[in-house]
Amino acid sequence: MSVASACRPSRLLTPIAILGSILAGLAFQASSLHGETPAAQDKPFAFFPFCIDWHDAKHRTFDEQAPMLKELGYDGAGHIGLDKIPERLKSLDAVGLRLYQITMWIDLDKNKPPFDKRMADIFSLVKGRSVQFLIIVNGGKPSDSTLDPDAVRIMRELSDMAKDSGSQLLLYPHTGNWVERIEDAVRVADKVDRPNVGAMFNLCHWLRVDKSRDYRSILAKAMPRLWAVSICGADEFDPQPGWAHYIQPLDKGNFDMGRFLRTLKELGYKGSIGIQCYGIEGDVREHLTRSMAAWQKLKKNLGE
């Protein structure tokens, strides 16, 4: 996946929308003073899919995806990259759903720009929406802590840019990238030490890089910075390359998802849950329908 070039986004705000953005910004500032995060104000375990754009056999547009997600019972959607965010927002707004996350990239390579020059405009665009920006970090060997000062500098610059928007910046563990483990994400977020910088736990990437399967101790240590979690149907172990066994619809795989979600709840996690759909072939409606049915059973068992 790569970030393609796009025109600079813009939108016209009505007086009501402007007032809403101001109030949301004030709420974010107040919560930050008390050590809280915007995610804590959302309903616990809000559920939404991401990475649904590339592998849908029917190639649905945003305007076709949004009403489908609404009908199936999802709370919103995630978005990959900085292109076409205004179109995504418009489609979700039209059916009363929320944009939960935007995945982006930063680069520690000093010969490359550290982040996309559109970021200031993007933060303005999503002001007051409590969007989480999931940050994949390029430009270093996985888990190389000697690059921590460079990452901290870049993240603090983005943190300053994002402050007035009410957005969060979440370091996203991704196999093969500099932040590869949840431990890396938490370590760097702690060093950045800003109220809008946290971490995300990604089940499929954790399964790939951590063979211990002891997620409870890892989640417990991450909890102060853990503001987002992604899940999917998965098998407990897969020695083969690729994601066919680590990213499946939620009703597939032998990984004990009920136990995992109970652990999150017991540890006090109250954030959203994204369902990773990258690489799942076929009609996205079909597998999202199955995943929603599985999710409803899981929530019932959790007492949600």
Residue 31: the pLDDT is: 37
Considering the domain boundaries, does residue 31 fall inside one? Answer: no
Tell whether 26 is covered by a domain: no
Q: Is residue 265 included in any domain, yes or no?
A: yes
**Which pLDDT score, from 0 to 100, does residue 60 have?**
98
Lowest mean pLDDT among 214-223, 268-277, 295-304: 295-304
Q: In which band, very low, low, confident or very high, does the pLDDT at 43 lie, cut at 50, 70 and 90?
A: confident
User: How high does pLDDT run on average in the chain?
Assistant: 89
- Interhelix angle 62-72/284-302, rounded to 10 degrees, is 30
Band (pLDDT 50/70/90 cuts) for residue 297 is very high
Range of the domain at 47: 43-302
Q: What are 4-37's pLDDT values in tens digits?
A: 332 333 333 444 433 443 344 444 333 333 333 4
Is residue 11 domain-resident?
no
Give 282's contacts (C-beta < 8 A, 6+ positions apart).
55, 57
pLDDT of residue 215: 98
> Considering the chain, what percentage of its residues have pLDDT values greater than 70?
86
For 76-87, write each residue's pLDDT tens digit. Answer: 999 999 999 999
Q: At what angle do helices 182-192 and 148-162 cross, to 10 degrees?
A: 70
- In a domain, residue 30? The reply is no
Domain harbouring 251, CATH code? 3.20.20.150
Can you give the pLDDT at residue 303? Answer: 87
CA dist 276 to 158, 172, 202, 243, 273, Å?
25, 13, 9, 11, 10
Does residue 22 sit within a domain? no
| pLDDT beyond 50 at 138 | yes
Residue 140 has pLDDT above 60, yes or no: yes
Range with lowest mean pLDDT among 24-28, 32-36, 141-145, 190-194: 32-36
Residue 304's pLDDT band (cuts 50, 70, 90)? confident
pTM of the model: 0.86
Banded model confidence at residue 233, pLDDT cuts 50, 70, 90: very high
225 within a domain of the structure (yes/no)? yes
Residue 9 included in any domain: no
What band does 135 get if pLDDT is binned at 50, 70 and 90? Answer: very high
Average pLDDT over residues 66-91: 98
Q: Which residue has the higher pLDDT, 16 or 261?
A: 261
Number of structural domains the chain divides into: 1
Question: Looking at residues 107-121, what average pLDDT do you find?
Answer: 97
Percent with pLDDT over 90 in the chain: 84
d(CA 117, CA 115): 6
Higher pLDDT, 94 or 10: 94
